[in-house]
């Protein structure tokens, strides 16, 4: 299980994102002299790295730049039946799955291959169906026998086994002492993705509440429990009460508010009604100090646990257990979980083919073992070297931006420069691979493999306590189509699978690469200076290092960006939350700005050539727009408005309306829908 810390920012959520980067020259290879000159290698997409057939030139760029750059692609592209959305990131995810399948197919017949045994166990659906619920019955029996006195011990076992319950936790760096690991806890206890799904009564939410209530009933029935309807209603009411004491997503995402160091005794005093010592010691934490992200929510949840009949808590844990393990249980359970979480919430009509789910299962549990084979086959060392050089170009552009800021105080600029100089860049794959020697994987025991993998991941995570910081460790596999910025490590991380067209192509026009991967790299760099990242200094410590004048100017620009994005009505009656998406919107704005500077610097003072009637600046912004091609199912888009800190692809593309060069490149006129007066354009970096 991948555990991303509070202070980690991704380019995109749900394993769909993109993080690539930019204008690398073609990698020269030593060859014998040819008899005749070989033609120059062509880009993989179009004449210069951009798919012009996907444009809709009937749309004015100033009215809808996304529609202009991507409109025909959007009209002609169908979302596959097994997906909630489809675009450039999902296309690369499909490619990554196919490539990984080749590796796993070759390994599945080898009894000495751990990844082969894991994959084979998932593909053996007949064995899964034959076993039915027998593998999970011993755990369900423990749930049915538990009383309030034994609940804390049982929840500790649930935590280690990968069963969601009332609190989520992991070991990560202490934000105020990043050279030390500490156990960190956050609110939980609800089965829908966010408190708003329980507490808001719009038409869509009411329908989801009914669907979730039916899901609770169906899962209890599948577990063999009688009188399921009233028991499901009791679970729902319990979870709604929990949702009411939860912090909202904006407060939860505030690194300062969420940093609350307590001793176990202090937590017990603030949140009476639950045996915190037994629970925390039971998950393997022997230290006394922990971090609690939302203290008042813990107070409320502890009281609810104390006041709620044990029968309701048992039923909720039964449902949560089947949902947590649904993908390794018979199809009756898996299909029910998908019916709610896949179809009702996200609009996806059907599950992925079993081989795809088997690939995801294997990479999810043995990511480094699969990744080692993946990079050996699909990621040449030369690519990593080229990407190192490209990142340096973007970092240099960010440095020039810092130097030129008129709102940042001189003493703060010095510290910002120090932070930039301390960056660690991870590209492609880890320098050190995780050791799975203590994990037992059997070719005929899918449920057991899942359970033992969860326990292994838990123990490995808890094992960080008291040890040195694992700076070699990655939170994503090389096969992942995403990237992230980690504030505590002061690092930016780009997995191998994202470093390919349409994001990066060594044979594409540099303008396309800088507008695509370059802006993505800039996005991750700038996260270390966004509304939350700026709270961490050059050592990765949560600290106040900006002057009050800096903070005032930065917050004023942030408020303007909040207002700009909050005005976007994505679906009828459903607007973006500009505050919730602020960090990612800053990342997009800064990333595009920095990448444009780096692109112009790469030209060495010369004018870019005109290609197919398009100037270099026009191609740069098209490279940005192409990266964000994506169609959504309506349910998925609505869910993202509530749960995803990233704006949808159309609005991400529109960030260009804040850049002066975009107006000049496309002759944007006052009166067009995306036009902003110069004084209204948000300028942060």
Lowest-confidence range among 73-82, 375-384, 407-416, 426-435?
A: 375-384
Residue where a domain terminates, one of 328, 349, 364? 328
Q: What would the mean pLDDT of 198-219 be, rounded to a whole number? A: 96
Question: Does 545 share its domain with 596?
Answer: yes
Question: Does 274 share its domain with 391?
Answer: no
Question: Does 420 share its domain with 525?
Answer: yes
Three-class secondary structure of residue 609 per DSSP = coil
DSSP lists the bridge partners of residue 484 as 10, 493
pLDDT attached to residue 9: 73
Pairing of strands 491-495, 574-575: unpaired
CATH of the domain at 293: 1.10.1380.10
- Express as a percent the part of the chain with pLDDT over 90: 91
User: Is residue 52 within 8 Å of 69, Cβ to Cβ?
Assistant: no
Question: Does 65 share its domain with 137?
Answer: no
pLDDT attached to residue 436: 97
* Domain annotation covers residue 3: no
Sheet holding 484-486, edge to edge: 8-10, 484-486, 491-495, 424-428
Pairing of strands 177-187, 574-575: unpaired
Three-class secondary structure of residue 262 per DSSP = strand
* Domain annotation covers residue 344: no
pLDDT attached to residue 292: 98
What are the phi and psi torsion angles at 191 (to 5°)? -95, -20
Question: Is the pLDDT confidence value at 6 over 60?
Answer: no
Q: Nearest-5° angle of CA 348, CA 352, CA 356? A: 145
Tell me the pLDDT band of 25, cut-offs 50, 70 and 90.
very low
SS (H, E, C) 410-443: HHHHHHHHHHHHCCEEEEECCCCCCCCCCCCCCC
pLDDT attached to residue 101: 98
| Residue 55 domain boundaries | 8-23+42-93+382-434+473-680
Dist CA 77 CA 67 (whole Å): 14
DSSP lists the bridge partners of residue 10 as 484
Question: Is the pLDDT confidence value at 36 over 80?
Answer: no
Per-residue pLDDT tens for 241-291? 999 999 999 999 999 999 999 999 999 999 999 999 999 999 999 999 999
Question: Does 424 share its domain with 511?
Answer: yes
Q: Is 607 exposed, middle or buried (0-12, 13-18, 19+ CB in 10 A)?
A: exposed
| C-alpha atoms less than 13 angstroms from C-alpha of 372 in its C-beta half-sphere | 11
Task: Fill in the DSSP letter of residue 193.
Answer: S
* Domain annotation covers residue 80: yes
Q: Spell out the alpha helix ranges (H) of 504-605.
A: 510-513, 519-527, 548-566, 582-602
pLDDT attached to residue 468: 97
pLDDT attached to residue 13: 61
Tell me the pLDDT band of 17, cut-offs 50, 70 and 90.
very low
- DSSP for 340-408, please give it: IIIIITT---SPPPHHHHHHHHHHHHSHHHHHHHHHHHH--HHHHHHHHHHHHHHHHHHHHHHHH-SSS
Distance (Å) of CA 599 to CA 409, 517, 608, 651? 27, 11, 10, 23
pLDDT attached to residue 19: 27
Q: Spell out the alpha helix ranges (H) of 18-150.
A: 65-76, 88-107, 114-123, 125-131, 137-145
Sheet holding 261-263, edge to edge: 167-174, 177-187, 289-292, 261-263
* End-to-end CA, the chain: 35
Q: What would the mean pLDDT of 32-53 be, rounded to a whole number? A: 73
User: Is residue 171 within 8 Å of 458, Cβ to Cβ?
Assistant: no
Residue where a domain terminates, one of 266, 295, 328? 328
CATH of the domain at 600: 3.40.390.10
Q: What would the mean pLDDT of 539-558 be, rounded to a whole number? A: 94
pLDDT attached to residue 40: 62
Mean pLDDT of the chain: 93
Per-residue pLDDT tens for 156-202? 999 999 999 999 999 999 999 999 999 999 999 999 999 999 999 98
Question: Is the pLDDT confidence value at 14 over 60?
Answer: no
Question: Does 317 share its domain with 429?
Answer: no
Question: Does 516 share its domain with 581?
Answer: yes
Tell me the pLDDT band of 60, cut-offs 50, 70 and 90.
very high
Question: Does 143 share its domain with 84?
Answer: no
Burial 432-444 (b: 16+ CB within 10 A, else e): eebebeebebebe
Tell me the pLDDT band of 561, cut-offs 50, 70 and 90.
very high
| Domains: count for the chain | 2
Total number of residues shown for the chain: 685
Question: Does 162 share its domain with 50?
Answer: no
pLDDT attached to residue 388: 80
Tell me the pLDDT band of 506, cut-offs 50, 70 and 90.
confident
Residue whose structure tokens are 């993989």: 44
* Domain annotation covers residue 140: yes
Question: Does 644 share its domain with 589?
Answer: yes
Helix (H) or strand (E) holding 280: helix 276-282
- Express as a percent the part of the chain with pLDDT over 70: 95
Helix (H) or strand (E) holding 498: none
User: Is residue 244 within 8 Å of 195, Cβ to Cβ?
Assistant: yes
Distance (Å) of CA 80 to CA 350, 358, 361, 571? 9, 19, 21, 21
Question: Does 271 share its domain with 405?
Answer: no
Dist CA 318 CA 324 (whole Å): 10
Per-residue pLDDT tens for 306-329? 999 999 999 999 999 999 999 999
Contact partners, residue 492, CB within 8 Å, separation at least 6:
391, 423, 424, 425, 426, 483, 484, 485, 486, 521, 524, 525, 527, 528
Question: Is the pLDDT confidence value at 12 over 90?
Answer: no
Question: Is the pLDDT confidence value at 228 over 90?
Answer: yes
Task: Fill in the DSSP letter of residue 166.
Answer: S
Dist CA 373 CA 99 (whole Å): 11
Q: What would the mean pLDDT of 437-464 be, rounded to a whole number? A: 98
Q: Is 57 exposed, middle or buried (0-12, 13-18, 19+ CB in 10 A)?
A: exposed
Residue where a domain terminates, one of 328, 347, 370? 328
Tell me the pLDDT band of 477, cut-offs 50, 70 and 90.
very high
Task: Fill in the DSSP letter of residue 680.
Answer: G
Per-residue pLDDT tens for 394-442? 999 999 999 999 999 999 999 999 999 999 999 999 999 999 999 999 9
* Domain annotation covers residue 104: no
Question: Is the pLDDT confidence value at 602 over 60?
Answer: yes
* Domain annotation covers residue 125: no
Question: Is the pLDDT confidence value at 348 over 70?
Answer: yes
pLDDT attached to residue 47: 94
* Domain annotation covers residue 343: no
Question: Is the pLDDT confidence value at 23 over 50?
Answer: no
* Domain annotation covers residue 30: no
Question: Is the pLDDT confidence value at 28 over 80?
Answer: no
Question: Does 89 share its domain with 180?
Answer: no
Q: Nearest-5° angle of CA 228, CA 234, CA 240? A: 135
Dist CA 2 CA 15 (whole Å): 11
């Amino acid at each position: 299980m991948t555990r991303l810390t509070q202070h980690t920012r991704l380019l995109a959520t749900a394993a769909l994102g993109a993080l690539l980067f930019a204008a690398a020259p073609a990698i020269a290879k030593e060859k014998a002299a040819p008899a005749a000159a070989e033609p120059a290698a062509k880009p993989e997409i179009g004449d210069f790295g951009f798919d012009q057939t996907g444009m809709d030139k009937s749309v004015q760029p100033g009215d809808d730049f996304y529609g202009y750059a991507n409109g025909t692609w959007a009209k002609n592209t169908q979302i596959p039946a097994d997906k909630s959305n489809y675009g450039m990131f999902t296309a690369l995810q499909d490619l990554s799955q196919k490539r990984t399948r080749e590796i796993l197919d070759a390994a599945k017949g080898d009894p000495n291959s751990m990844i082969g045994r894991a994959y084979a166990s998932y593909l053996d659906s007949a064995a899964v169906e034959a076993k039915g619920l027998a593998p999970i019955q011993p755990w369900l029996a423990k749930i049915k026998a538990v009383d309030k006195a034994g609940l804390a011990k049982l929840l500790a076992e649930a935590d280690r086994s990968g069963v969601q319950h009332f609190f989520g936790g992991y070991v990560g760096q202490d934000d105020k002492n990043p050279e030390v690991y500490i156990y960190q806890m956050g609110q939980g206890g609800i089965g829908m993705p966010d408190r708003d799904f329980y507490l808001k009564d719009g038409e869509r939410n009411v329908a989801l509440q009914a669907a979730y209530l039916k899901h609770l009933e169906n899962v209890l029935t599948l577990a063999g429990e009688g009188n399921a309807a009233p028991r499901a209603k009791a679970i729902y009411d319990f979870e709604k009460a929990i949702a009411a004491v939860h912090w909202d997503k904006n407060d939860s995402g505030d690194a300062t508010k969420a940093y609350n160091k307590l001793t176990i005794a202090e937590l017990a005093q603030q949140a009476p009604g639950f045996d915190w010592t037994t629970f925390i010691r039971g998950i393997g934490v022997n230290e006394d100090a922990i971090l609690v992200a939302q203290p008042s929510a813990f107070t409320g949840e502890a009281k609810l646990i104390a006041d709620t009949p044990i029968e309701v808590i048992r039923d909720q844990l039964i449902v949560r257990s089947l949902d947590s393990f649904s993908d390794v249980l018979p199809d009756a359970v898996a299909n029910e979980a998908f019916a709610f979480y896949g179809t009702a919430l996200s609009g996806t009509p059907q599950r992925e083919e079993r081989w795809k789910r088997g690939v995801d299962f294997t990479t999810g549990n043995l990511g480094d073992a699969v990744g080692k084979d993946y990079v050996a086959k699909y990621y040449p060392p030369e690519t990593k070297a080229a990407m190192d050089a490209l990142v340096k170009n973007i970092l240099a552009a960010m440095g020039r931006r810092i130097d030129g800021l008129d709102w940042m105080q001189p003493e703060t600029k010095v510290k910002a420069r120090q932070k930039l100089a301390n960056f660690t860049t991870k590209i492609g794959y880890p320098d050190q691979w995780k050791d799975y020697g203590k994990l037992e994987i059997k070719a005929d025991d899918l449920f057991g493999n899942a359970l033992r993998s969860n326990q292994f991941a838990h123990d490995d995570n808890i094992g960080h306590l008291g040890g040195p910081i694992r700076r070699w460790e990655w939170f994503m596999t090389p096969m992942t189509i995403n990237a992230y910025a980690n504030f505590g490590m002061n690092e930016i991380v780009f997995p191998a699978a994202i470093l390919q067209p349409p994001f990066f192509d060594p044979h594409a026009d540099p303008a396309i690469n800088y507008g695509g991967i370059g802006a993505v790299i800039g996005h991750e760099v700038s996260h270390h200076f966004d509304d939350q990242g700026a709270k961490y200094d050059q050592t990765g410590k949560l600290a106040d290092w900006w002057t009050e004048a800096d903070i005032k100017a930065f917050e004023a620009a942030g408020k303007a960006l909040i207002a700009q994005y909050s005005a976007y009505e994505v679906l009828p009656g459903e607007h973006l939350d500009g505050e919730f998406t602020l960090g990612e919107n800053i990342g997009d704005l800064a990333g595009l700005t920095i990448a444009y500077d780096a692109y112009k610097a790469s030209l060495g003072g010369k004018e870019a050539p005109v290609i197919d009637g398009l100037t270099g600046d026009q191609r740069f912004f098209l490279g940005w727009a192409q990266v964000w091609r994506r169609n959504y199912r309506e349910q998925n888009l609505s869910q993202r408005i509530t749960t995803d800190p990233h704006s949808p692809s159309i609005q991400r593309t529109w960030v260009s309306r804040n850049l002066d060069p975009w107006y000049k490149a496309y002759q944007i006129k006052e009166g067009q829908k995306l036009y902003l007066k110069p004084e209204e354009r948000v300028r942060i970096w």
